[in-house]
């Protein structure tokens, strides 16, 4: 049997599987825990369950096990963020912590940029409110 072609290996597997995604999200939530804008948005006192949901979602997205959907159903992430005010300031704070977390993994350049490009696009897509939104009339 021949070795698998590179494109047959998921990013999930290539970057080290679940332990890598756990490190990513744990680092991200260390930043969120200290963030005066983001921390109050999280309804639960304990950030652990939220960290677990994000970890499982990202693992699934990148080709790992489908545990996220098995327990939470279809992601429908924009809908799930509707209760939260995600304005550009919240997006930028989220991305700042995520950037630190991605950088901390020390991934090879192609994986680093694939992961980061996706997270940046996803965060822009999640915005559902403008800064200082006031009714105009
Ligand atoms: C742009 C700024 C963002 C903010 C301020 C934000 C904030 C939040 C908050 C407050 C929650 C609820 C915590 C919980 O109970 O899980 C949440 C959940 C979640 N977020 Fe975000 N989020 C952002 C972007 C993103 C992005 C870009 C992704 C994916 C790439 C994402 C993935 C998730 C997931 C998977 C959940 C759990 C959904 C569930 O199963 O209930 N978020 N987010």
C-alpha of residue 67 to centroid of ligand 1, in Å: 17
pLDDT digits (tens, 9 = 90+) for 23-49: 999 999 999 999 999 999 998 889 999
**Protein residue with its CA nearest to atom 11 in ligand 1:** 42
Ligand 1 site, residue 107, Cβ cutoff 6 A: no
Radius of gyration over alpha carbons of the chain, in Å?
16
pTM: 0.92
The pLDDT confidence band at residue 52, using thresholds 50, 70 and 90, is very high
Ligand 1 site, residue 50, Cβ cutoff 6 A: yes
C-alpha of residue 11 to centroid of ligand 1, in Å: 21
Closest to 30 measured CA to CA, from 22, 60, 107: 22
Q: What is the pLDDT of residue 131?
A: 80
Q: What is the pLDDT of residue 133?
A: 57
pLDDT digits (tens, 9 = 90+) for 61-103: 999 999 999 999 999 999 999 999 999 999 999 999 999 999 9
């Amino acid at each position: 049997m021949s070795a698998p072609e590179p494109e047959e290996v998921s990013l999930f597997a290539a970057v080290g599987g679940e332990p890598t995604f756990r490190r990513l999200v744990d680092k991200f939530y260390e930043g969120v825990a200290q963030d005066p804008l983001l921390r109050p948005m999280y309804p639960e006192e304990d950030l652990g369950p939220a960290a677990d949901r994000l970890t499982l979602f990202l693992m699934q997205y990148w080709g790992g096990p489908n545990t996220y959907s098995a327990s939470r159903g279809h992601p429908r992430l924009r809908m799930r963020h509707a209760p939260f005010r995600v304005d550009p300031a919240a997006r930028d704070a989220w991305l700042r912590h995520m950037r630190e977390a991605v950088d901390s993994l020390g991934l090879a350049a192609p994986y680093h940029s694939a992961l980061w490009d996706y997270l940046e696009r996803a965060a822009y897509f999640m915005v559902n409110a403008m800064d200082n939104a006031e009714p105009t009339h």
